[in-house]
Homo-oligomer: A and B are copies of this chain.
Amino acid sequence: MAEYKNLSKEELLSLRSELEKQYEEFKKLGLQLDMSRGKPNKAQLDLSSAILDVFNSTSDVKSVDGTDTRNYGILTGIPEAKELFGELMGVPAKNTIIFGTASLTIMYDYISQCMMFGCGDEPWIKQGNVKFLCPVPGYDRHFSILQHFGIEMINVKMNDDGPDMDSIEELVKDSSVKGIFCVPKYSNPDGITFSDEVVRRFAALKPHAKDFRVIWDNAYLVHGINDTPDELLNIFDVAKEYGSEDMFIEVCSTSKISFAGAGVSALAASDANIKAIQSRMTVQTISHDKMNQLRHARYFKNLDGIKEHMKKHAAILKPKFDTVTEGLTKAFEGTGIARWNNPNGGYFVSLFVMNGCAKRVGELCKEAGLTLTTVGATYPYGIDPDDSNIRIAPSFPDVDELKKAVELLAVCVKLAAVEKLLDK
């Protein structure tokens, strides 16, 4: 097919009418498809069913240190959970804290603490206008946290190997820039893993603000979907070389390993940060759910156990990702109106349509029964300056639904492009 930009007005008009016909056919089907959230499907959740067999009424529910996990105590997590998450994030157990179900809550709480009490300097709330760097496109819930606290967000471009470090090195000279949110592996939504050079430049950052924090949201750290998974340098190993460990707060969870609604989350940080976080946790809680920690630790045993388990997730997810990327290739080859990533893991395919068309695509899809992540949500304040990015979440629908959804999406993307070109 010819590139759309080279089509004549007549060709575009004829194409529009053809696409409108296709679109109307889709509408008649009365579809109800959802590719909006990175949500595991039932088959993935079933993979972890046996976690529920770890305990019954006759089980020993003591942690290795003898703690009865049913009772109060052990603020920062039982030893075996700390070991497991330490191995997962590549840090000593002592540098982990185990929390409840959601790493989002850890991040929210960390920002909240920085606002109210600071981290090595005055509370952020007392420092006037405070700013954060946001690699874009990015995770909408990171942006929601920042917006909630009134932290100004500055877009930073994502390159193929991670955020644009030239920009970041420049921006951190402003002492009101207090941090950055990152998904360093299989980024949300681009599926990009930060290159060794990017990780090194992060570790080597010399922000003007001494209370600058990198929230290293390692949500997809073992979430490869094929035989060529990405490798991410261990940020704490590299940071040690630069003495910058205190700059990094890493989080992860089993939400997409065991159960999205009933997993375990954890934080990794330097000795100094662990001490600070722990000291206010004593006020905040008595302990998180230690039985669920023990359930997970006994079931997965160690990192190898998790890795074996993740192969089963990959086997379920790969055909879904393939359906999306093959569908997109088939639909858009040669048209020059769309580009997308082919990630080795994570939960998303990031689609870039012709500038100025994404919102229109969202409308068209919605009208025909396909729910996408709100267009714009992958940018701070919900504003995609190019109105181009669409996040596709292939995990939840089944392959047949996905195929249909991608076909419909493609028609909508094309229609929006033609409308745009005709409007010029």
Query: A residues near B, CB below 8 A?
Result: 37, 39-40, 42, 45, 48-53, 55-59, 61, 68-74, 100-102, 104-105, 108, 112, 115-116, 125, 141, 144-145, 148-149, 255, 259-262, 280, 282-292
Contacts and interface: CB of A to CB of B under 8 A. Distances in A.
Tell me how many chains of this kind the complex includes: 2
A413 to B, nearest CB: 27
Contacts of A289: 100-101, 261-262, 289, 292
A183 to B, nearest CB: 16
A260 B156 CA distance: 45
A255 to B, nearest CB: 8
A72 B261 contact: yes
Contact of A261 (B40, B42, B70, B149): B70
Contact of A287 (B59, B101, B144): B101
A39 B284 contact: no
Nearest to A125: B125
B287 A73 contact: no
A8 to B, nearest CB: 48
Contact of A45 (B42, B71, B102): B71
B50 A68 contact: no
A90 to B, nearest CB: 26
A288 to B, nearest CB: 6
A56 B45 contact: no
A288 B261 CA distance: 7
